[in-house]
Structures are given as C-alpha cells and as structure tokens.
Amino acid sequence: MVGLTHYLVLSAALFSLGVLTMCIKRNAIGILIGVELVLNAASVNFVAFSKYQSGMLSGQVFAVFVILLAAAEAAIAIAIFMNYYTNVQTIDVDRGDALRG
Amino acid sequence: MSIDALAFYIFAGVALVSAIGIVVSTNIVRTAVFLLGTLGSVAGLYFLLDATLLAVIQLIVYAGGTLVLIIFGVMLTSKSPWMKFSATRGQIVGAAAVSILLAIGLWALVLKADWSNAHPMTSAPQVADVGNALLTDFLVPFEAASVLLLVVMIGAAYLARPEK
C-alpha cells in the first residue's frame, strides 16, 4: 500500500540529488537543471499533502505556481547565461570572477 | 501488489535513476535528457495523486517548454555540444557528504513523524475544482503571476538582445 510517506521519502531523495547537482556542476545550465530538480521535489510534496488532506486543493494550486515560477526563472536564467557567454566566452561558472577582490 | 503500487514504484524508480543520471553525467546534453526522464515520471506521479490538471501542465510547460528552453541554452552557449567541465575530487566528496547528510536528515524526519491523521481524499478533485480555486481563493496570486509573466517576457527579451 503506497502512502504519504512513500511520496515524502521519494521527494527527499530527489531534493538531495538536486542539491548535489547544484554543488558539483560547473556548467551554468547544469546548475539550472539542479534547481529544476529541487523545485520538482517540492511540487511532489505539495501534491502529496494535497491528496492526503481531505477537501484541500491548496497543494495543487501551489504546485501550479511552482511550475509557473520555474518556467519564468528558466527563461531569465538562460537570458543571463547568454549575456555571460558573450562576455566570458564560456559557460563555466568558475570563470566568471571579474568581481573577485 | 495493486496496479497503483506497481505504477508508483515504476515512476519513482525512473525518477530516481534519471536524477542519479543527472548527477553523474558530465555531458550537458545527456543531463538535459535525464531531466526529461525525471519530469515525465513526476508527471506520472501527479496522475497517481489524482492531480490530472497538474500532470498535464507538467508535461506541457516543463517537458514541452522549459526543457526546450534549456536545450536551446545548451545550443547557444557551447562551441561544441560535447564539451565538459567537472568539479575537483575534493569538491565532489564534500558536496556528496552534504547531500547524503541532508537526505538522511529528511528521511529521519519523514519516517519519525506521526502521519496517522493523514487520510487519502475520498473523491478525486476535478479539473473544474482547481480552476474554481484559482479564480476565487487564489485570485490575487493568480493575477500577480500574470504580471510576473509579463515582466519576465520583457526582461528576457531585453537581456537576450544583441549588443548595439
């Protein structure tokens, strides 16, 4: 029998893997993919809680907004990466050290 | 084992294996394809959780929109699609230790908590119910989100324009 705990354990694993992706990727787009993974883990939590709390749709509505924000964030991030690429000629995040003291 | 449980384990397995693939692969194009696997199986999990509208939104907006955007980003920001950067061994070990600790902490919290008053919904919510909630109880965030989308559209077009 699949219950609430199964979903929560899965989303905790997805969240940790997303954090790990954000930490170890040097490619800026890889870091963006890690952020998407973390946001998805949070959405799974919201929807699971929405199912296991009778008469509440807030979880599903929250997940809709999370997906919307993720799409908006990806659009802006890609635009910033393209500017970064024209300035630094690479997408490696360690090379963007122009403001280093 | 019921068909629901079987479907859950299949979707959860695909999501986890793809997420591990995202972490392990050093090729950015493969990483994006693994992300598609995770997004698709999370959409399947939404179906299992009776959130049909969300599952379809996940497939259309994430798998159809955001992922294409990411692939375009990869295409526009690399001289060759097979280029690789990787972190040093020390950074990888530190990051792995932190995320394993995070996972263990979250699992301990989830498994220790008392979920005895969490019962599944008796009737599945319809798409119309979510739409009604969006346009009544959540009207202000809904309108704010539309303004946000407009700002993002203008901002992205401004940021990505060629230098004069």
pLDDT in tens, A5-56: 999 999 999 999 999 999 998 889 999 999 999 999 999 999 999 888 766 7
pLDDT, tens only, A60-80? 999 999 999 999 999 999 999
Would you tell me how many other CB atoms lie within 10 Å of the CB of residue B88?
A: 10
Phi then psi dihedrals of residue A27, to 5 deg = -80, 130
Number of domains, chain A: 1
A97 falls within a domain:
no
Q: CB–CB of B70 and A63 under 8 A?
A: no
Nearest to A29 among B74, B95, B148 (CB): B74
Domains of chain B: 1-84 (1.20.120.1200), 123-164 (no CATH)
Q: How many angstroms separate the CA atoms of B51 and A48, rounded?
A: 9
Between CA B98 and CA B104 the distance in angstroms is 10
List the CATH number of the domain containing A75: 1.10.287.3510
CB atoms within 10 A of CB B67: 20
A13·B19 Cβ contact <8 A: yes
A83 in B contact zone (CB under 8 Å): yes
Residue A87 contacts B, CB cutoff 8 Å: no
Is residue B63 less than 8 Å (CB to CB) from chain A? no
Domain that holds residue A62: 4-92
Asked if the structure places residue A88 within a domain, the reply is yes
ipTM above 0.95, yes or no: no
Provide the strand spans (E) within chain B: none
For the entire predicted model, the pTM comes to: 0.90
Which of B9, B99, B148, B150 would you mutate first to test chain A, the one with the most A CBs within 10 A? B99
Residue A42 lies in a domain: yes
